[in-house]
Amino acid sequence: MSAPVLSFTESGIYCAAGDFFIDPWRPVDRALITHGHADHARPGHARYLATRAAAPVMRHRLGDIALETVDYGETREIRGVRVSYHPAGHVPGSAQIRVEHRGEVWVVSGDYKTTPDGLSEPFEPLRCHAFISECTFGLPVFKWTPQDEVTAQINEWWQANRAAGRASIIGAYALGKAQRILANVDASIGPILTHGAVENTNEVMRAQGIALPETIRVTPETDARNHGGALVVATPSALGTPWARRFGPASTGFASGWMALRGVRRRRAADRGFVMSDHADWQGLNDAIAQTGAERIFVTHGYTTIFRRWLESRGYDAQVVETEYEGEALEEREEAAETGNAAAAVPSPDAAP
């Protein structure tokens, strides 16, 4: 029996024929990267390959790296292995990586979602023999509110707060979620202020041609009295801190897939929870897997044990793979470190909801 196209090693997902890794978590010579979130794009590799659209954020986060880029759908041959990148719908520039060798096709999804969000390149289903999938939200309870509905909820909340003389502070991850909110809300309601970590990413995305509304960076000199009724887009770790309290009377919201779980909003001390995620929900995961036509499914992070059992009941050859991908949890810890605040962590996927 020939060796599999991809294998799972202590450094990451490895292609022996091509001698490259995909989203490795230990320093390697050649790393193919699905997207710029910190649990997938790590420092220390000798060479990187990513999409042209992901490159600006990766350089912003990782510094002066040896980074080569490809366009979506462009095929590269690496030591006889055909590799191409295809939209994952997760955040701008995110990709699934298709790997073909001797007629066998494997796809590494990275992180993905199947519904358009008004910002990211829409998810592209790929046919393959084996599919490596996340399952961050791999429980039936996770069902996302349609984009237009959740945007209307945020707009209505903001308008009501503005009418009552309150600021609206919404927690959202600095890469992806924050820009998704900005790209979809009604900017005519009032001024929009942003946390520095959010604005840093905004600037990178604007420079690459992604349209975002005008925003005002919050600095130590920012006088909240000059921005009454503003929408303030903050990192989750900034909620409930002196940084947030400077805005005086305010309502606090949180945008996350975890808002689908009872009790999480209370632990966040948020007035409003908006069910919004850059990962696939239960139906999205099942749809994506069905569209691949794959018989072998490997699940890498999230509710892995439960989701594997479900897939087996549907006739798939499903396996759990231990990785160091963490979904939203690692992003939150990084933002907490940047703001100097140790916010409560998101729920563990291994815990009961």
DSSP, residue by residue, 76-106: EEETTEEEEEEE-SSSTT-EEEEEEETTEEE
pLDDT at 350: 35
Whether the per-residue pLDDT at 247 is higher than 50: the answer is: yes
Range 41-49, long-range pairs (CB < 8 A, 24+ positions): 49/20, 49/76
Q: Is 333 inside any structural domain?
A: no
Whether the per-residue pLDDT at 335 is higher than 80: the answer is: no
Whether the per-residue pLDDT at 294 is higher than 60: the answer is: yes
Q: Which among 267, 200, 275 is positioned nearest to 233, based on CA atoms?
A: 200
* Residues 134, 20 share a domain: yes
Question: Residue 135 and residue 281: Cα distance in Å, rounded?
Answer: 8
pLDDT at 1: 58
* Residues 162, 138 share a domain: no
Q: Which residue has the higher pLDDT, 338 or 328?
A: 328
pLDDT at 343: 34
Sign of the Cα torsion 236, 238, 240, 246 reads negative
Q: Is 134 inside any structural domain?
A: yes
End-to-end CA distance of the chain: 42
Range of the domain at 68: 7-142+279-322
Whether the per-residue pLDDT at 54 is higher than 90: the answer is: yes
Whether the per-residue pLDDT at 135 is higher than 90: the answer is: yes
Question: At 43, is the pLDDT very low, low, confident or very high (cuts 50, 70, 90)?
Answer: very high
Q: How many domains does the chain have?
A: 2
Q: Is 340 inside any structural domain?
A: no
Q: Is 343 inside any structural domain?
A: no
Question: At 332, is the pLDDT very low, low, confident or very high (cuts 50, 70, 90)?
Answer: low
Q: pLDDT, tens digit, for every residue of 149-204?
A: 999 999 999 999 999 999 999 999 999 999 999 999 999 999 999 999 999 999 99
Question: At 3, is the pLDDT very low, low, confident or very high (cuts 50, 70, 90)?
Answer: confident
Q: Which amino acid is at 2?
A: S
pLDDT at 340: 43
Q: Identify the CATH number of the domain in which residue 211 sits.
A: 3.40.50.10890
Strands 130-135 and 216-217: unpaired
Q: C-alpha angle 343/203/206, rounded to 5°?
A: 130
**pLDDT, mean of residues 35-56:** 97
Q: How far is CA 52 from CA 38, 92, 93, 279, 349, in A?
A: 18, 10, 7, 21, 32
Q: Which among 269, 239, 274 is positioned nearest to 255, based on CA atoms?
A: 274
Q: Is 328 inside any structural domain?
A: no
Question: At 268, is the pLDDT very low, low, confident or very high (cuts 50, 70, 90)?
Answer: low
Q: pLDDT, tens digit, for every residue of 173-186?
A: 999 999 999 999 99
* Residues 162, 62 share a domain: no
Q: Identify the CATH number of the domain in which residue 284 sits.
A: 3.60.15.10
* Residues 201, 248 share a domain: yes
pLDDT at 107: 98
Share of the chain above pLDDT 90, in %: 84
Question: At 228, is the pLDDT very low, low, confident or very high (cuts 50, 70, 90)?
Answer: confident
- 80-89, 121-130, 260-269, 342-351: range with lowest mean pLDDT: 342-351
pLDDT at 2: 72
Name the pTM for this structure: 0.92
**pLDDT, mean of residues 129-142:** 97
**pLDDT, mean of residues 16-27:** 98
What is the distance of C-alpha 43 from the center of its chain? 18
Please say which residue of 259, 275, 291 terminates a domain.
Answer: 275
* Residues 187, 71 share a domain: no
Whether the per-residue pLDDT at 243 is higher than 70: the answer is: yes
Whether the per-residue pLDDT at 351 is higher than 60: the answer is: no
Whether the per-residue pLDDT at 115 is higher than 90: the answer is: yes
DSSP structural state of residue 120: S
Whether the per-residue pLDDT at 339 is higher than 70: the answer is: no
Contact 89, 113 (CB under 8 A): yes
Question: At 266, is the pLDDT very low, low, confident or very high (cuts 50, 70, 90)?
Answer: low
Whose tokens are 């999230």? That residue is: 302
* Residues 200, 55 share a domain: no
pLDDT, mean over the chain: 91
Contact 214, 196 (CB under 8 A): no
- 6-10, 138-142, 347-351: range with lowest mean pLDDT: 347-351
Whose tokens are 């955040």? That residue is: 91
* Residues 318, 232 share a domain: no
* Residues 73, 54 share a domain: yes
Question: At 223, is the pLDDT very low, low, confident or very high (cuts 50, 70, 90)?
Answer: confident
* Residues 106, 219 share a domain: no
**pLDDT, mean of residues 264-287:** 88
